[in-house]
Amino acid sequence: MKSKGSDTLMQQVVERFSDTPDPRLREIMGSLVRHLHGFIRETGLTEQEWMQGIEFLTAVGQKCDARRQEFILLSDVLGASMQVVSVQSERAPGCTESTVFGPFHVEGAPQVANGGDVANGAQGARCVVHGTVRDDAGRAVADATIDVWQSDDEGLYDVQRPGLQGAQGRGVLKSQADGSFWFRSVLPVPYPIPTDGPVGALLRASRRPCWRPAHLHFRIQAAGCETLITHVFRSGDPHIDADPVFGVRPSLIADWPASADGGHELRFDFALQRTNAAV
């Protein structure tokens, strides 16, 4: 039996994963163990602090349900979600930049025809969005599947309204032959991330701002292209430099000028990376 010094212990744990058949799982667990033990050794974590951590993580898990994903929120406020995006998108220069997925996407949102209304009852200032989907060579991408989702004028997504049945502020469009798509909706506004759970308690204890700058979520999928998950933000937003989930990239900030009818209009063009297999 080996001595149980801190370093020896860490190596022992890494070695215990050496029979893992999946080499990627083995690599991930080895790195995780080294960083987890490094954190404990660097901070000299006490048993009381460890127990507070256990209780915090348990509370995060127990806050999750079909409409609430507190672990994604935790990952978001720790910048981990954006770090995953950054690590990946370093491999995809020249295309529209990605940002965090966030906890509010719902699969199976209603199909919306071009020109249709995504708000579907969500309240807010009128807004029209025109976009195009192209590939990394500038060619139009037809028949792309475009998920959009957004908050209403109170900064709430439909899933945050307990009594609400059916989708509001979310829909799935298809790009046309020239790559274009368009829809009507309401203007997104800044909103605080949910602070009634353990992640909110962490932000309060850290005196961290919790307001996200206004944004519209997109997920764009097309045959032969890498899926793009991103937001479009509004220029001049007062929270643009303090996004609690670190999702803002300069290339994703756009003007949403006032339109003749008193609403707003956004025009944004997306460039998808071709997958290697399809090129």
Site for a second copy in 236-275 (CB under 8 A): 240-241, 244, 246, 248-250
Q: Is position 196 an interface residue for a second copy (rule: CB under 8 A)?
A: no
Is 211 a binder of a second copy (CB under 8 A)? Answer: no
CA atoms lying within 13 Å on the CB side of residue 82: 15
Q: How far is the CB of 249 from a second copy (least distance, A)?
A: 6
Rounded distance, CA 72 to CA 216, Å? 18
72 binding a second copy? (CB under 8 A): yes
* Residue from the set 35, 143, 178, 201 that interacts with a second copy by CB under 8 A: 35
Cα dihedral value 101, 106, 107, 110, nearest 10: -120
Residue 36 or 258 having the CB closest to a second copy: 36
89-122 b/e (C-beta count within 10 Å ≥ 16 → b): beebeebbbbbbbbbbbeeebeebeeebebbbeb
Nearer to a second copy, 60 or 112 (CB): 60
59 is a contact residue toward a second copy (CB under 8 A): yes
The window from 76-84, 149-157, 182-190, 264-272 that contacts a second copy (CB under 8 A) reads 76-84
Check residue 278 for interaction with a second copy (CB under 8 A).
no
Which CA distances in Å does 21 have to 17, 145, 173, 262?
9, 36, 42, 61
**Footprint (CB under 8 A) of a second copy, residues 146-175:** none
